Amino acid sequence: MLLMDIALTPDSYTPSIDDNGNYIDNIPIIKNGIYCLCGSRKDKVYDNKSNFSAHIKTQRHQKWLVTLNYNKANFYVEMMKNKELVENQQKIIVKLENQLQIKSTTIDYLTKQLTNKNNQTSHLEINLIDI
């Protein structure tokens, strides 16, 4: 019996939003580690609350938080563009799935017709030989 190890991946940290709509740090419960998207230490996983608490106090992390708050309007515009893109892609996927279904049905029909024609031809050849 082959046993596979289950790999638990760390969560990605996302700041919370306060009542005024500003991004703020709020340390979540850390179960499997957490990594921060601020870019100060790429691929660094923080295993506990105290290490992550020290990280969010760094100048680089604080600058990232300020940048997020400064670009809130841009993030909203980008999110709306992405929403429209996803909707358009969903429409394209539905259209392509419909085309695929039609073509698959056509292939099945033509294959059946060809098989029937070949069977009839085989019977004709046998009948001609018997004559």
- Which pLDDT score, from 0 to 100, does residue 49 have? 94
Nearest to 33 by CA among 52, 56, 16: 52
Angle between helical axes of 72-130 and 59-70 (0-180°, round to 10): 80
- Which pLDDT score, from 0 to 100, does residue 128 have? 46
Residue ranges per structural domain of the chain: 1-70, 72-131
Considering the entire predicted model, what is its pTM?
0.59
Regions of the chain short of the pLDDT cut 70: 1-7, 120-131
Quick one: 34 exposed, middle or buried, by C-beta within 10 A (0-12, 13-18, 19+)?
A: buried
- Which pLDDT score, from 0 to 100, does residue 117 have? 75
Tokens of 11: 């969560």
Tokens of 66: 């300020």
- Which pLDDT score, from 0 to 100, does residue 40 have? 85
In the chain, count of helices (H) and strands (E)? 3, 5
- Which pLDDT score, from 0 to 100, does residue 60 have? 95
pLDDT digits (tens, 9 = 90+) for 20-58: 989 999 999 999 999 999 988 888 999 999 999 999 999
